[in-house]
Amino acid sequence: MSLTGGNRNDVTQLLTLPDKIPPVAGVVGRPRRRPDALFADRGYDHDKYRRLLWQRGIRPVIARRGEPHGSGLGIFRYVVERTIAWLHGFRRLRIRWERRDDIHEAFLGLATCLITYRHVQRLC
């Protein structure tokens, strides 16, 4: 997880985000350190970022500017937008009132635990 100021452009974190992903164990062998692909919207559309992601072994799936909507990323964006909406259900996270980032991250962790608990409760 990475916390930046609200006035920072998101693209500044594009290359550091895949580096912060912990190893994912799965099939037999060495744990994976990077994702196969990175999905992003039009704000990240630049050949420089595509090239840098390819160099890291990550396939960029970035919507192109100037093309009509319906590029197919909506299916994946829905999951992200829905999760952010769930987090905004917690009043304390909707607007950041805490000055200290560690307290804000603690509330974010609690909200994530509660969302997961509620989701598991519906499945049982």
Is it the case that residue 66 has pLDDT exceeding 80?
Answer: no
E-state strands within 54-93: 59-62
Residue 85 φ then ψ, to 5°: -65, -40
Neighbours of 40 (CB within 10 A): 20
Q: Tell me: the pLDDT tens digits for 68-101?
A: 776 566 666 777 788 888 988 888 888 877 888 8
Portion of the chain with pLDDT greater than 70, in percent: 88
How many whole angstroms separate alpha carbon 80 and alpha carbon 68? 21
How many whole angstroms separate alpha carbon 106 and alpha carbon 7? 22
The pTM assigned to this predicted structure is 0.65
Q: Tell me: the pLDDT tens digits for 56-65?
A: 888 988 878 7
The two tokens of residue 28 are 């037999």
Burial 101-116 (b: 16+ CB within 10 A, else e): eeebeebbeebeeeee
Ranges of each domain in the chain = 10-123
